[in-house]
Structure 1
Amino acid sequence: MPSDPLAPLLELADVAPAMQQARAAVDAAMRHRALRRSGGPVAAEVALRTSVASAALDTHGFDLEGVRAGVVTDPVVQGALRATAALDGLTATWTRAPRQALAKLHTLIARDVVGPAELGRPVDPDAVPRLDGLAALVTGDTSAPVLLQAAVVHGELLALKAFAGPNGVVARSAARLTLVAGGLDPRGLLAMDVGHRAREPEYVGSANAFATGTPDGLRSWLRHYAAAAERAAEELVEICDKVSAG
Protein backbone atom coordinates (compact mmCIF):
# COMPACT_ATOMS: atom_id res chain seq x y z
CA MET A 1 0.00 0.00 0.00
CA PRO A 2 1.34 3.51 -0.79
CA SER A 3 2.21 5.60 2.23
CA ASP A 4 0.03 8.52 3.30
CA PRO A 5 1.74 11.69 1.97
CA LEU A 6 0.58 13.78 4.95
CA ALA A 7 1.52 11.29 7.67
CA PRO A 8 5.03 12.77 8.15
CA LEU A 9 3.49 16.13 9.06
CA LEU A 10 1.99 14.61 12.19
CA GLU A 11 5.47 13.55 13.26
CA LEU A 12 6.75 17.14 13.35
CA ALA A 13 7.31 18.40 16.89
CA ASP A 14 4.12 19.50 18.68
CA VAL A 15 1.92 19.23 15.58
CA ALA A 16 -0.15 16.19 16.55
CA PRO A 17 -0.90 17.46 20.09
CA ALA A 18 -1.78 20.91 18.71
CA MET A 19 -4.19 19.37 16.20
CA GLN A 20 -5.76 17.20 18.89
CA GLN A 21 -6.20 20.17 21.22
CA ALA A 22 -7.78 22.22 18.43
CA ARG A 23 -10.14 19.37 17.54
CA ALA A 24 -11.22 19.09 21.17
CA ALA A 25 -11.94 22.84 21.30
CA VAL A 26 -13.97 22.66 18.09
CA ASP A 27 -15.95 19.65 19.25
CA ALA A 28 -16.74 21.35 22.56
CA ALA A 29 -17.93 24.52 20.79
CA MET A 30 -20.14 22.47 18.47
CA ARG A 31 -21.99 21.11 21.51
CA HIS A 32 -23.21 24.56 22.58
CA ARG A 33 -26.89 24.34 23.48
CA ALA A 34 -27.76 27.37 21.32
CA LEU A 35 -27.03 25.35 18.20
CA ARG A 36 -29.98 23.03 18.93
CA ARG A 37 -32.52 25.79 18.56
CA SER A 38 -30.73 28.73 16.90
CA GLY A 39 -28.33 27.08 14.48
CA GLY A 40 -29.51 29.17 11.52
CA PRO A 41 -28.84 32.60 13.04
CA VAL A 42 -25.50 31.40 14.40
CA ALA A 43 -24.43 30.06 11.00
CA ALA A 44 -25.43 33.33 9.33
CA GLU A 45 -23.37 35.35 11.79
CA VAL A 46 -20.37 33.04 11.38
CA ALA A 47 -20.63 33.35 7.59
CA LEU A 48 -20.64 37.14 7.82
CA ARG A 49 -17.73 37.37 10.23
CA THR A 50 -15.48 34.85 8.49
CA SER A 51 -16.14 36.41 5.05
CA VAL A 52 -15.30 39.91 6.29
CA ALA A 53 -12.16 38.59 7.99
CA SER A 54 -11.04 36.77 4.84
CA ALA A 55 -11.42 39.89 2.70
CA ALA A 56 -9.49 41.88 5.29
CA LEU A 57 -6.61 39.41 5.08
CA ASP A 58 -6.42 40.31 1.37
CA THR A 59 -6.16 44.02 2.34
CA HIS A 60 -9.87 44.71 1.83
CA GLY A 61 -10.76 45.50 5.43
CA PHE A 62 -14.16 46.97 6.19
CA ASP A 63 -16.24 47.48 9.29
CA LEU A 64 -18.32 44.43 10.13
CA GLU A 65 -21.43 46.46 10.85
CA GLY A 66 -21.14 48.28 7.55
CA VAL A 67 -21.06 44.97 5.71
CA ARG A 68 -23.98 43.73 7.78
CA ALA A 69 -25.97 46.84 6.86
CA GLY A 70 -25.30 46.28 3.15
CA VAL A 71 -23.49 49.57 2.58
CA VAL A 72 -20.14 47.98 1.63
CA THR A 73 -19.99 47.19 -2.07
CA ASP A 74 -16.29 46.31 -2.25
CA PRO A 75 -15.99 43.49 -4.83
CA VAL A 76 -13.61 41.36 -2.74
CA VAL A 77 -15.90 41.50 0.29
CA GLN A 78 -18.88 40.64 -1.88
CA GLY A 79 -16.93 37.81 -3.51
CA ALA A 80 -15.98 36.39 -0.12
CA LEU A 81 -19.63 36.47 0.93
CA ARG A 82 -20.68 34.68 -2.26
CA ALA A 83 -18.07 31.98 -1.79
CA THR A 84 -19.09 31.35 1.81
CA ALA A 85 -22.73 31.02 0.79
CA ALA A 86 -21.75 28.49 -1.88
CA LEU A 87 -19.66 26.13 0.27
CA ASP A 88 -22.42 23.74 1.23
CA GLY A 89 -23.44 23.27 -2.38
CA LEU A 90 -19.86 22.56 -3.43
CA THR A 91 -19.07 19.79 -0.94
CA ALA A 92 -19.85 16.90 -3.30
CA THR A 93 -17.90 18.52 -6.12
CA TRP A 94 -14.93 19.17 -3.84
CA THR A 95 -14.48 15.50 -2.94
CA ARG A 96 -15.02 14.32 -6.50
CA ALA A 97 -13.59 17.09 -8.73
CA PRO A 98 -11.69 19.63 -6.62
CA ARG A 99 -10.23 21.47 -9.62
CA GLN A 100 -13.80 22.16 -10.77
CA ALA A 101 -14.74 23.40 -7.30
CA LEU A 102 -11.71 25.69 -7.22
CA ALA A 103 -12.69 27.14 -10.59
CA LYS A 104 -16.18 27.82 -9.28
CA LEU A 105 -14.84 29.44 -6.10
CA HIS A 106 -12.52 31.69 -8.07
CA THR A 107 -15.32 32.70 -10.41
CA LEU A 108 -17.57 33.59 -7.46
CA ILE A 109 -14.85 35.49 -5.65
CA ALA A 110 -13.11 37.33 -8.47
CA ARG A 111 -15.82 37.93 -11.06
CA ASP A 112 -15.86 41.68 -10.41
CA VAL A 113 -12.10 41.94 -9.85
CA VAL A 114 -10.38 40.29 -12.83
CA GLY A 115 -11.25 39.87 -16.49
CA PRO A 116 -13.48 37.05 -17.76
CA ALA A 117 -10.55 35.29 -19.42
CA GLU A 118 -8.81 34.85 -16.05
CA LEU A 119 -11.78 33.51 -14.13
CA GLY A 120 -11.65 29.90 -12.96
CA ARG A 121 -8.25 29.02 -14.35
CA PRO A 122 -4.68 29.12 -13.01
CA VAL A 123 -2.66 32.10 -14.18
CA ASP A 124 0.63 30.21 -13.91
CA PRO A 125 0.94 27.00 -15.96
CA ASP A 126 3.75 25.88 -13.66
CA ALA A 127 1.23 25.64 -10.82
CA VAL A 128 -0.85 23.00 -12.58
CA PRO A 129 1.14 19.92 -11.47
CA ARG A 130 0.96 20.98 -7.82
CA LEU A 131 -2.74 21.72 -8.16
CA ASP A 132 -3.17 18.21 -9.56
CA GLY A 133 -1.28 16.81 -6.59
CA LEU A 134 -3.46 18.78 -4.22
CA ALA A 135 -6.56 17.48 -6.00
CA ALA A 136 -5.31 13.91 -5.49
CA LEU A 137 -5.05 14.54 -1.75
CA VAL A 138 -8.56 15.96 -1.58
CA THR A 139 -10.04 13.00 -3.45
CA GLY A 140 -8.68 10.41 -1.05
CA ASP A 141 -4.91 10.06 -1.05
CA THR A 142 -4.73 10.77 2.68
CA SER A 143 -6.41 9.73 5.92
CA ALA A 144 -4.84 12.58 7.92
CA PRO A 145 -7.09 14.59 10.26
CA VAL A 146 -9.40 16.94 8.39
CA LEU A 147 -7.93 20.01 10.10
CA LEU A 148 -4.48 19.02 8.84
CA GLN A 149 -5.85 18.49 5.34
CA ALA A 150 -7.44 21.95 5.40
CA ALA A 151 -4.15 23.47 6.54
CA VAL A 152 -2.31 21.88 3.62
CA VAL A 153 -4.96 22.96 1.10
CA HIS A 154 -4.83 26.49 2.46
CA GLY A 155 -1.04 26.69 2.60
CA GLU A 156 -0.53 25.22 -0.86
CA LEU A 157 -3.00 27.56 -2.54
CA LEU A 158 -1.43 30.58 -0.83
CA ALA A 159 2.05 29.46 -1.85
CA LEU A 160 1.11 28.73 -5.46
CA LYS A 161 -0.64 32.09 -6.01
CA ALA A 162 -2.37 30.19 -8.79
CA PHE A 163 -5.39 32.43 -9.27
CA ALA A 164 -5.57 36.04 -10.38
CA GLY A 165 -6.88 38.67 -8.02
CA PRO A 166 -7.85 37.69 -4.44
CA ASN A 167 -6.05 34.34 -4.42
CA GLY A 168 -5.96 34.40 -0.63
CA VAL A 169 -9.75 34.46 -0.42
CA VAL A 170 -9.82 31.43 -2.73
CA ALA A 171 -7.32 29.60 -0.50
CA ARG A 172 -9.28 30.33 2.66
CA SER A 173 -12.59 29.36 1.05
CA ALA A 174 -11.12 26.07 -0.18
CA ALA A 175 -9.77 25.33 3.29
CA ARG A 176 -13.19 25.94 4.85
CA LEU A 177 -14.73 23.77 2.14
CA THR A 178 -12.33 21.01 3.20
CA LEU A 179 -13.57 21.30 6.78
CA VAL A 180 -17.22 21.18 5.67
CA ALA A 181 -16.78 18.30 3.22
CA GLY A 182 -14.57 16.38 5.65
CA GLY A 183 -17.16 16.45 8.40
CA LEU A 184 -15.27 18.51 10.97
CA ASP A 185 -17.56 21.49 10.35
CA PRO A 186 -20.50 20.16 8.30
CA ARG A 187 -22.75 23.14 9.10
CA GLY A 188 -20.16 25.83 8.38
CA LEU A 189 -20.04 27.06 11.97
CA LEU A 190 -16.31 27.54 12.34
CA ALA A 191 -15.11 31.08 11.59
CA MET A 192 -11.59 30.01 10.69
CA ASP A 193 -10.73 33.28 9.01
CA VAL A 194 -11.54 35.19 12.19
CA GLY A 195 -8.91 33.00 13.82
CA HIS A 196 -6.38 33.85 11.11
CA ARG A 197 -7.24 37.54 11.26
CA ALA A 198 -6.83 37.60 15.05
CA ARG A 199 -3.29 36.28 14.60
CA GLU A 200 -2.51 38.06 11.33
CA PRO A 201 1.26 38.62 11.74
CA GLU A 202 1.67 34.95 12.67
CA TYR A 203 -0.62 33.96 9.80
CA VAL A 204 1.46 35.83 7.24
CA GLY A 205 4.78 34.72 8.66
CA SER A 206 3.86 31.07 8.99
CA ALA A 207 2.30 31.00 5.51
CA ASN A 208 5.56 32.29 4.09
CA ALA A 209 7.39 29.67 6.14
CA PHE A 210 5.12 26.92 4.78
CA ALA A 211 6.01 27.98 1.25
CA THR A 212 9.67 27.14 1.91
CA GLY A 213 8.75 23.48 2.34
CA THR A 214 11.19 23.03 5.21
CA PRO A 215 10.21 20.98 8.29
CA ASP A 216 10.38 24.10 10.47
CA GLY A 217 8.29 26.07 7.99
CA LEU A 218 5.64 23.36 7.78
CA ARG A 219 5.57 23.02 11.56
CA SER A 220 5.13 26.78 11.99
CA TRP A 221 2.13 26.84 9.67
CA LEU A 222 0.45 23.78 11.14
CA ARG A 223 0.81 25.06 14.68
CA HIS A 224 -0.64 28.39 13.59
CA TYR A 225 -3.54 26.56 11.97
CA ALA A 226 -4.35 24.70 15.14
CA ALA A 227 -4.24 27.95 17.13
CA ALA A 228 -6.53 29.66 14.60
CA ALA A 229 -9.01 26.78 14.91
CA GLU A 230 -9.05 27.23 18.67
CA ARG A 231 -9.73 30.95 18.22
CA ALA A 232 -12.50 30.12 15.76
CA ALA A 233 -14.04 27.78 18.34
CA GLU A 234 -13.97 30.64 20.87
CA GLU A 235 -15.69 32.86 18.32
CA LEU A 236 -18.42 30.27 17.85
CA VAL A 237 -19.03 30.11 21.60
CA GLU A 238 -19.18 33.92 21.77
CA ILE A 239 -21.73 34.05 18.95
CA CYS A 240 -23.80 31.29 20.52
CA ASP A 241 -23.79 33.06 23.88
CA LYS A 242 -24.89 36.30 22.22
CA VAL A 243 -27.71 34.60 20.32
CA SER A 244 -28.83 32.81 23.49
CA ALA A 245 -28.95 36.11 25.36
CA GLY A 246 -31.16 37.61 22.70
Structure 2
Amino acid sequence: MSVDVFEPLAGLEGVGSAARAARDAVDVLLRDRGLRRVGSDMTAEALLRGAHASAALAGSTASPDDVRRGAADGLATGAVRMTGELMALAPQVDKSPVQVWTRLHQLAALDLAPAAELGHVRTTAEPIPDDIPGLPPAPGADELWERLSALAQNLTRPTKAPALVVAAIVHAELAVLRPFPVANGLVARAAERCLLVARGIDPVAVTVPEAGHYVLRATYSSGLTDYAARGLTGVRDWLLRSCEVVTKGAELSPLAPSS
Protein backbone atom coordinates (compact mmCIF):
# COMPACT_ATOMS: atom_id res chain seq x y z
CA MET A 1 0.00 0.00 0.00
CA SER A 2 1.45 3.38 -1.02
CA VAL A 3 1.96 6.09 1.57
CA ASP A 4 0.53 9.58 1.03
CA VAL A 5 3.54 11.69 2.02
CA PHE A 6 1.88 15.01 1.17
CA GLU A 7 -1.25 14.70 3.32
CA PRO A 8 0.51 15.05 6.73
CA LEU A 9 2.23 18.22 5.49
CA ALA A 10 -1.14 19.70 4.58
CA GLY A 11 -2.17 19.07 8.18
CA LEU A 12 0.59 21.23 9.67
CA GLU A 13 -0.68 24.15 11.73
CA GLY A 14 -2.36 26.81 9.64
CA VAL A 15 -1.58 25.20 6.27
CA GLY A 16 -5.03 23.85 5.50
CA SER A 17 -6.82 27.14 6.09
CA ALA A 18 -4.13 29.12 4.23
CA ALA A 19 -4.38 26.77 1.24
CA ARG A 20 -8.16 27.14 1.17
CA ALA A 21 -7.87 30.93 1.30
CA ALA A 22 -5.36 30.96 -1.56
CA ARG A 23 -7.56 28.65 -3.62
CA ASP A 24 -10.52 30.95 -2.94
CA ALA A 25 -8.53 33.94 -4.23
CA VAL A 26 -7.87 32.14 -7.51
CA ASP A 27 -11.45 30.88 -7.75
CA VAL A 28 -12.84 34.38 -7.27
CA LEU A 29 -10.60 35.68 -10.05
CA LEU A 30 -11.68 32.95 -12.47
CA ARG A 31 -15.34 33.12 -11.48
CA ASP A 32 -15.51 36.87 -11.94
CA ARG A 33 -14.29 36.59 -15.50
CA GLY A 34 -15.65 33.13 -16.29
CA LEU A 35 -13.39 30.44 -17.72
CA ARG A 36 -15.06 30.69 -21.12
CA ARG A 37 -14.06 34.32 -21.39
CA VAL A 38 -10.40 33.71 -20.67
CA GLY A 39 -8.72 33.84 -24.05
CA SER A 40 -5.32 32.57 -25.05
CA ASP A 41 -4.07 36.14 -25.05
CA MET A 42 -4.64 36.40 -21.30
CA THR A 43 -2.85 33.10 -20.69
CA ALA A 44 0.06 34.25 -22.85
CA GLU A 45 0.29 37.55 -20.98
CA ALA A 46 0.22 35.85 -17.58
CA LEU A 47 2.91 33.39 -18.65
CA LEU A 48 5.05 36.23 -20.00
CA ARG A 49 4.74 38.14 -16.73
CA GLY A 50 5.66 34.98 -14.87
CA ALA A 51 8.69 34.39 -17.06
CA HIS A 52 9.96 37.91 -16.43
CA ALA A 53 9.44 37.63 -12.66
CA SER A 54 11.11 34.22 -12.43
CA ALA A 55 14.09 35.41 -14.46
CA ALA A 56 14.40 38.54 -12.33
CA LEU A 57 14.42 36.38 -9.22
CA ALA A 58 17.26 34.38 -10.81
CA GLY A 59 19.28 37.54 -11.43
CA SER A 60 18.14 38.68 -14.87
CA THR A 61 18.36 42.41 -15.50
CA ALA A 62 15.95 42.33 -18.45
CA SER A 63 12.96 44.66 -18.29
CA PRO A 64 9.42 43.55 -19.16
CA ASP A 65 9.78 45.43 -22.44
CA ASP A 66 13.03 43.57 -23.20
CA VAL A 67 11.20 40.30 -22.66
CA ARG A 68 8.31 41.32 -24.90
CA ARG A 69 10.68 42.39 -27.68
CA GLY A 70 12.73 39.20 -27.49
CA ALA A 71 15.80 41.22 -26.54
CA ALA A 72 16.34 39.76 -23.07
CA ASP A 73 19.33 37.99 -21.52
CA GLY A 74 19.75 34.22 -21.36
CA LEU A 75 17.87 33.80 -18.10
CA ALA A 76 14.79 35.64 -19.31
CA THR A 77 14.93 34.07 -22.76
CA GLY A 78 15.03 30.63 -21.14
CA ALA A 79 12.12 31.46 -18.87
CA VAL A 80 10.06 32.62 -21.84
CA ARG A 81 11.03 29.51 -23.78
CA MET A 82 9.63 27.35 -20.98
CA THR A 83 6.30 29.16 -21.07
CA GLY A 84 5.92 28.19 -24.72
CA GLU A 85 5.62 24.52 -23.72
CA LEU A 86 4.26 24.80 -20.19
CA MET A 87 0.62 24.18 -21.07
CA ALA A 88 1.59 21.11 -23.10
CA LEU A 89 3.88 19.78 -20.37
CA ALA A 90 1.44 20.30 -17.50
CA PRO A 91 -0.76 17.25 -18.28
CA GLN A 92 2.33 15.04 -18.19
CA VAL A 93 3.70 16.15 -14.84
CA ASP A 94 1.70 13.64 -12.78
CA LYS A 95 2.67 10.75 -15.05
CA SER A 96 6.27 11.47 -16.03
CA PRO A 97 7.57 14.17 -13.69
CA VAL A 98 11.29 13.61 -14.27
CA GLN A 99 10.82 13.86 -18.02
CA VAL A 100 8.91 17.12 -17.54
CA TRP A 101 11.63 18.56 -15.29
CA THR A 102 14.40 17.60 -17.68
CA ARG A 103 12.48 19.11 -20.60
CA LEU A 104 12.00 22.32 -18.63
CA HIS A 105 15.74 22.41 -18.06
CA GLN A 106 16.48 21.89 -21.74
CA LEU A 107 14.34 24.93 -22.50
CA ALA A 108 15.54 27.08 -19.61
CA ALA A 109 19.27 26.50 -20.05
CA LEU A 110 19.60 26.55 -23.83
CA ASP A 111 21.52 29.85 -23.70
CA LEU A 112 23.21 29.14 -20.37
CA ALA A 113 24.90 25.74 -20.63
CA PRO A 114 26.65 23.47 -23.15
CA ALA A 115 24.41 21.14 -25.12
CA ALA A 116 25.66 18.11 -23.17
CA GLU A 117 24.31 19.59 -19.92
CA LEU A 118 20.79 20.33 -21.16
CA GLY A 119 18.20 18.17 -19.40
CA HIS A 120 20.99 16.27 -17.72
CA VAL A 121 20.67 15.42 -14.01
CA ARG A 122 24.10 15.76 -12.43
CA THR A 123 26.24 12.82 -11.40
CA THR A 124 28.97 12.28 -8.80
CA ALA A 125 31.59 13.25 -11.40
CA GLU A 126 30.21 16.77 -11.74
CA PRO A 127 30.47 19.81 -9.47
CA ILE A 128 27.67 20.67 -7.10
CA PRO A 129 25.81 23.71 -8.44
CA ASP A 130 25.41 26.93 -6.50
CA ASP A 131 23.02 28.88 -8.71
CA ILE A 132 20.37 29.93 -6.16
CA PRO A 133 21.97 32.58 -3.92
CA GLY A 134 21.56 32.24 -0.20
CA LEU A 135 20.89 28.51 0.00
CA PRO A 136 23.06 26.00 1.86
CA PRO A 137 25.12 23.64 -0.30
CA ALA A 138 23.15 21.24 -2.47
CA PRO A 139 23.35 17.55 -1.58
CA GLY A 140 25.68 15.22 -3.41
CA ALA A 141 24.55 13.26 -6.43
CA ASP A 142 23.71 10.07 -4.53
CA GLU A 143 21.30 11.85 -2.17
CA LEU A 144 20.00 13.91 -5.06
CA TRP A 145 19.03 10.85 -7.09
CA GLU A 146 17.42 9.16 -4.11
CA ARG A 147 15.29 12.18 -3.21
CA LEU A 148 14.44 13.06 -6.79
CA SER A 149 13.27 9.51 -7.48
CA ALA A 150 11.16 9.48 -4.32
CA LEU A 151 9.62 12.82 -5.19
CA ALA A 152 8.74 11.61 -8.68
CA GLN A 153 7.22 8.39 -7.36
CA ASN A 154 5.13 10.25 -4.81
CA LEU A 155 3.79 12.60 -7.48
CA THR A 156 2.37 9.66 -9.41
CA ARG A 157 0.44 8.38 -6.38
CA PRO A 158 -2.96 9.60 -5.13
CA THR A 159 -2.93 12.21 -2.38
CA LYS A 160 -5.54 13.94 -0.25
CA ALA A 161 -3.35 17.02 0.08
CA PRO A 162 -4.37 20.24 -1.70
CA ALA A 163 -2.67 20.74 -5.05
CA LEU A 164 -1.09 23.94 -3.77
CA VAL A 165 0.75 21.98 -1.08
CA VAL A 166 2.05 19.44 -3.57
CA ALA A 167 3.21 22.17 -5.94
CA ALA A 168 4.99 24.04 -3.16
CA ILE A 169 6.83 20.93 -1.99
CA VAL A 170 7.97 20.13 -5.52
CA HIS A 171 9.25 23.69 -5.93
CA ALA A 172 11.18 23.52 -2.67
CA GLU A 173 12.64 20.07 -3.31
CA LEU A 174 13.90 20.98 -6.78
CA ALA A 175 15.37 24.25 -5.51
CA VAL A 176 17.10 22.60 -2.55
CA LEU A 177 18.33 19.58 -4.54
CA ARG A 178 19.48 21.63 -7.56
CA PRO A 179 19.55 18.61 -9.88
CA PHE A 180 20.91 20.52 -12.87
CA PRO A 181 24.16 22.41 -13.46
CA VAL A 182 22.35 25.75 -13.98
CA ALA A 183 18.85 27.28 -14.08
CA ASN A 184 17.55 25.29 -11.13
CA GLY A 185 15.46 28.17 -9.80
CA LEU A 186 13.79 28.70 -13.16
CA VAL A 187 12.97 25.00 -13.39
CA ALA A 188 11.68 24.78 -9.82
CA ARG A 189 9.29 27.69 -10.30
CA ALA A 190 8.07 26.37 -13.66
CA ALA A 191 7.54 22.93 -12.13
CA GLU A 192 5.39 24.51 -9.41
CA ARG A 193 3.32 26.31 -12.03
CA CYS A 194 2.89 23.11 -14.06
CA LEU A 195 1.31 21.46 -11.04
CA LEU A 196 -0.96 24.42 -10.31
CA VAL A 197 -2.25 24.06 -13.88
CA ALA A 198 -2.37 20.26 -13.96
CA ARG A 199 -4.16 19.85 -10.64
CA GLY A 200 -6.81 22.45 -11.27
CA ILE A 201 -5.79 25.39 -9.13
CA ASP A 202 -5.34 27.57 -12.21
CA PRO A 203 -6.13 25.38 -15.24
CA VAL A 204 -5.94 28.28 -17.71
CA ALA A 205 -2.67 29.69 -16.27
CA VAL A 206 -3.85 33.27 -15.80
CA THR A 207 -2.41 33.85 -12.33
CA VAL A 208 1.25 34.79 -11.92
CA PRO A 209 2.73 32.85 -8.99
CA GLU A 210 6.28 33.69 -10.10
CA ALA A 211 5.44 37.35 -9.57
CA GLY A 212 4.22 36.42 -6.10
CA HIS A 213 7.60 34.89 -5.38
CA TYR A 214 9.27 38.02 -6.71
CA VAL A 215 7.16 40.33 -4.54
CA LEU A 216 8.15 38.18 -1.55
CA ARG A 217 11.76 37.82 -2.75
CA ALA A 218 13.18 39.02 0.59
CA THR A 219 12.09 35.68 2.11
CA TYR A 220 12.72 33.43 -0.88
CA SER A 221 16.17 32.05 -0.09
CA SER A 222 15.61 32.14 3.68
CA GLY A 223 12.34 30.26 3.23
CA LEU A 224 14.06 27.55 1.22
CA THR A 225 16.93 27.41 3.71
CA ASP A 226 14.47 26.95 6.57
CA TYR A 227 12.62 24.31 4.55
CA ALA A 228 15.86 22.36 4.23
CA ALA A 229 17.19 22.89 7.77
CA ARG A 230 14.33 23.35 10.24
CA GLY A 231 12.33 20.17 9.85
CA LEU A 232 8.55 20.38 9.89
CA THR A 233 8.65 23.96 11.18
CA GLY A 234 10.57 25.03 8.09
CA VAL A 235 8.27 23.03 5.84
CA ARG A 236 5.19 24.62 7.42
CA ASP A 237 6.59 28.11 7.02
CA TRP A 238 7.43 27.45 3.36
CA LEU A 239 3.91 26.17 2.74
CA LEU A 240 2.37 29.21 4.41
CA ARG A 241 4.58 31.45 2.29
CA SER A 242 3.56 29.53 -0.82
CA CYS A 243 -0.11 30.12 -0.03
CA GLU A 244 0.62 33.84 0.15
CA VAL A 245 2.46 33.57 -3.18
CA VAL A 246 -0.57 32.04 -4.89
CA THR A 247 -2.83 34.73 -3.47
CA LYS A 248 -0.51 37.45 -4.74
CA GLY A 249 -0.27 35.64 -8.06
CA ALA A 250 -4.04 36.01 -8.41
CA GLU A 251 -3.82 39.72 -7.55
CA LEU A 252 -1.15 40.19 -10.22
CA SER A 253 -3.06 38.37 -12.94
CA PRO A 254 -3.80 40.29 -16.15
CA LEU A 255 -7.43 39.48 -15.36
CA ALA A 256 -7.29 41.31 -12.00
CA PRO A 257 -9.06 44.70 -11.94
CA SER A 258 -5.87 46.53 -10.96
CA SER A 259 -3.78 45.04 -13.79
Q: TM-score, normalised by structure 2?
A: 0.87
Cα RMSD after superposing both structures: 1.8
Alignment map for 1:90-129 (pairs within 5 Å): 90-124=89-123, 125-126=141-142, 127-129=144-146
**Amino acid in the other structure paired with 1:151:** A
Answering whether residue 55 of structure 2 is matched by residue 55 of structure 1, we say: yes
Find the residue that maps to 2:93 and give its secondary structure. helix
Q: Deviations over 1:98-152 (max 9, x none)?
A: 1111111100110111112211121143211111111112212423111000000
Give the whole-Å Cα distance in 2 for the aligned partners of 1:97 and 1:219: 27
Corresponding residue of 1:219: 236
Cα deviation for residue 61 of structure 1 reads 3.2
Q: Deviations over 1:47-73 (max 9, x none)?
A: 11100000111111321122223332x
Among 213, 219, 236, the residue aligned to 1:196 = 213
Corresponding residue of 2:136: none
Corresponding residue of 2:68: 68
Answering whether residue 155 of structure 2 is matched by residue 156 of structure 1, we say: no
Cα deviation for residue 186 of structure 1 reads 1.4
Unaligned runs of 5+ in 2: 124-140
Native 8 Å contact 1:57 1:200 kept in 2:
yes
Find the residue that maps to 2:23 and give its secondary structure. helix
Corresponding residue of 2:43: 43
Native 8 Å contact 1:206 1:217 kept in 2:
yes
Corresponding residue of 1:30: 30
Give the whole-Å Cα distance in 2 for the aligned partners of 1:90 and 1:43: 15
Cα deviation for residue 97 of structure 1 reads 1.2
Find the residue that maps to 1:144 and give its secondary structure. coil
**Amino acid in the other structure paired with 1:111:** L
Find the residue that maps to 2:61 and give its secondary structure. coil
Give the whole-Å Cα distance in 1 for the aligned partners of 2:152 and 2:258: 39
Give the whole-Å Cα distance in 1 for the aligned partners of 2:38 and 2:165: 29
Native 8 Å contact 2:170 2:188 kept in 1:
yes
Answering whether residue 79 of structure 2 is matched by residue 80 of structure 1, we say: yes
Q: Deviations over 1:149-197 (max 9, x none)?
A: 0000000000001111111000001111111111211111121000000
Corresponding residue of 1:166: 183
Give the whole-Å Cα distance in 2 for the aligned partners of 1:54 and 1:214: 26
Identity of aligned residues (%): 37
Give the whole-Å Cα distance in 1 for the aligned partners of 2:178 and 2:71: 30
Give the whole-Å Cα distance in 2 for the aligned partners of 1:150 and 1:52: 20
The structure where helix makes up a greater share of residues is 1
Give the whole-Å Cα distance in 2 for the aligned partners of 1:77 and 1:84: 11
Give the whole-Å Cα distance in 1 for the aligned partners of 2:30 and 2:46: 13
Moved more, 204-213 or 51-60: 204-213
Give the whole-Å Cα distance in 1 for the aligned partners of 2:66 and 2:36: 29
Native 8 Å contact 2:53 2:211 kept in 1:
yes
**Amino acid in the other structure paired with 2:97:** P
Among 240, 249, 259, the residue aligned to 1:232 = 249
Native 8 Å contact 1:35 1:42 kept in 2:
no
**Amino acid in the other structure paired with 1:128:** W
Native 8 Å contact 1:106 1:120 kept in 2:
yes
Native 8 Å contact 2:67 2:77 kept in 1:
no
Give the whole-Å Cα distance in 2 for the aligned partners of 1:213 and 1:177: 27
Find the residue that maps to 1:32 and give its secondary structure. helix
Give the whole-Å Cα distance in 1 for the aligned partners of 2:241 and 2:234: 11
Find the residue that maps to 1:95 and give its secondary structure. coil
